[in-house]
Structure 1
Amino acid sequence: MTSTPLLRDLIASTALDLGPQAPTLCDPWRVRDLMAHLVVRESRPDVLPGIGLDVGPLRRHTDQVQDRVAGRRDLPQLAEAVRRGPARWWPTSVGAVDDLVNVPELAVHLEDMVRAQPDWEPTRLPEEVQRALWTSLRRSGRMLYGRAPVGVVVVAEGHGRASLRRPPGRAGTVVLRGTPLELTLHAFGRDAVARVEATGEDADLAALDRHRRSV
C-alpha cells in the first residue's frame, strides 16, 4: 500500500470527527471548504490554474467552483470522495504519481484541520508516511526555499540531512530539525504551528522568519 491511501483515510475520518464548521488554518475556510478544495483539485481540470496561479479571474473561477461543490455536497459525501481518490483517468490515480503529488498536500491539509483546534496535538503518522514526506521534502524543499534569504539545511532523526538552499551572498545557514511532518509544515509556511528547532545566527533566524513561502 502506498502512503497516500493512509493519508486519505486519516483526513476523511478527521474531517468527520471535527464537523463541517470546524476552523482550519486556511482561514476563512472551514473543514467543509477544505474538503471541497481537495475534491475539486482532483476532479476539475479547469480549476487547477486558479490553484497554482494568483491571477484574479482564474482564482475567482476556482473559488466559485469550490463554493458550489461545498454547498451541494454534505461533509460525509466530500469525505468519501477524498477517501476514494480520483477517477482512473486522473493522473494521480496511479499510486506512484499519487504519492509524489499528494503526500505533502494531504499531510499539510490534515494538520491544517488538526492544529486549528484548541489543545491540538500533532497527528502520529505511520513511519511509511514519514518516509514518503522526507523523500518529498528533499525534492520540493529546494523550490519552496528557493528564494530564502539564508541557507537552509533540514535534519530529521532517523531519516537524514539535506541541504535545500545554499546561502546567498554573505548570509549564513539556518538548520531546521524535526520530524519529516514538522519540517514539511515549515516548508509550506506553517511556521506558527510547526514543531521545528531552528539554529543559526540571530540575524539569519530572523530573516528566515520573515520569508514567506507557499501556503
Structure 2
Amino acid sequence: MNPPFDAQERAALCDLFDDLGPDAPTLLDGWTTRKLAAHLVLRERDPIAAPCLVLPGPPARFAERRTTAMVEREEFSWLVARLRSGPPIGFFRLPWVRSFPSLNEFFVHHEDVRRADGRGPREDLTPELEAALWRNVQRGSRFLSRRLRGTGLDIAWNGTGQRIAVRTGTLTAELSGPPGELLLYLFGRQAAARVEVLGPPTAVAAIGNCRFGM
C-alpha cells in the first residue's frame, strides 16, 4: 500500500533537500532551502508560532523571528531529518489535515525547490495524485482568490471537462491547466505555473494583477 500523498511529497522534498543542500534557492523571495526546511518544521512542531504563519502583521513577524532563530540554531541535516520523520502526534496526523492543507503545503513547496533549481513540471504525477490535487483546488480556490474583486473566475482541469465556477462577475476569466499547476497559481506562483488564463482582456488583466494565495 502506497503512503498518503502528503507523505510522498514530504519524502520527495526531503530527498531534494539532501541533494541540493542548505543554500539552494527557492521560488520564495530570499528563502533558501535551509529557511524553507525550518519553516516546515516550525509549522508542525511550534504550537505557539505555527498559527501565526497564516496571520498578518505582528503575528507574522513573530513567526518570522521564530523561523530565523531555528535557522540559526539548528543544523540543516537536523531540520531535514526532523521533517522526514513525519508529522508529530496530534493535529497534523488528522486525515483531513493530511489530505488538504498538508498535501498542499508539501506539494507547493516541493515545486518551489524544483523549479528554482531549473527542473520543470513533473510529467509523472499519478492519476490518483492529480485527482487529490483537483479536490484541493475545488476546496481552496475561493479562499485563495479572495482578493479578486469584480471579476468572475472559472477554473478548468484541461482535457477532462471538469470545471468549477469560483467567483461571479460582469466579466469572467477561465484559469485552465492540470491540477498541480492550478494549485501553484492559486498559491501565488503565477510566474512558475503552466496554466492558461482565457477570457475578455479586462478579466484576464484582473486575474494577472490579483494577489492570490494565503
TM > 0.5 between the two? yes
Answer with 70-79 or 37-46: which moved more: 70-79
SS at match of 1:33: helix
Instruction: Give runs of ≥4 in structure 1 deviating > 6 Å.
Output: none
The Cα of 1:160 is off from its aligned counterpart by: 1.8
Matches within 5 A, 1:14-25: 14-25=16-27
Identity of aligned residues (%): 33
Answer with 128-137 or 194-203: which moved more: 128-137
The Cα of 1:67 is off from its aligned counterpart by: 1.6
SS at match of 2:155: strand
Matches within 5 A, 1:31-110: 31-56=33-58, 58-88=59-89, 90-110=90-110
Give the alignment partner of residue 168 of structure 2, picking from 137, 143, 166. Answer: 166
Look up the match of 2:14: 12
SS at match of 1:153: strand
Look up the match of 1:152: 153
Matches within 5 A, 1:175-214: 175-214=174-213
The Cα of 1:120 is off from its aligned counterpart by: 2.5
Residues 58-110 of structure 1, C-alpha deviations (whole Å, 9 max, x = no match): 2232122212222232222222222222211x211133421122111111111
Look up the match of 2:120: 121
Aligned length: 209
Gaps of 5+ in 1: none
Look up the match of 1:139: 139
Gaps of 5+ in 2: none
Answer with 20-29 or 66-75: which moved more: 66-75
Q: What TM-score, normalized by structure 1, do the two folds share? A: 0.90
CA RMSD of aligned residues (A): 1.7
Equivalent position amino acid for 1:203 in 2: T
Equivalent position amino acid for 2:211 in 1: R
Equivalent position amino acid for 1:148 in 2: L
Answer with 14-23 or 180-189: which moved more: 14-23
Residues 4-46 of structure 1, C-alpha deviations (whole Å, 9 max, x = no match): 1111111111121121101111121100100110000001111
Contact 2:44–2:87 (Cα < 8 Å) also in 1: yes
Distance in 2 between residues matched to 1:28 and 1:22, nearest whole Å: 11
Distance in 2 between residues matched to 1:85 and 1:69, nearest whole Å: 18
Contact 1:50–1:62 (Cα < 8 Å) also in 2: yes
The Cα of 1:164 is off from its aligned counterpart by: 1.4
Distance in 1 between residues matched to 2:121 and 2:110, nearest whole Å: 10
SS at match of 2:154: strand
Contact 1:23–1:31 (Cα < 8 Å) also in 2: yes
Equivalent position amino acid for 2:50 in 1: L
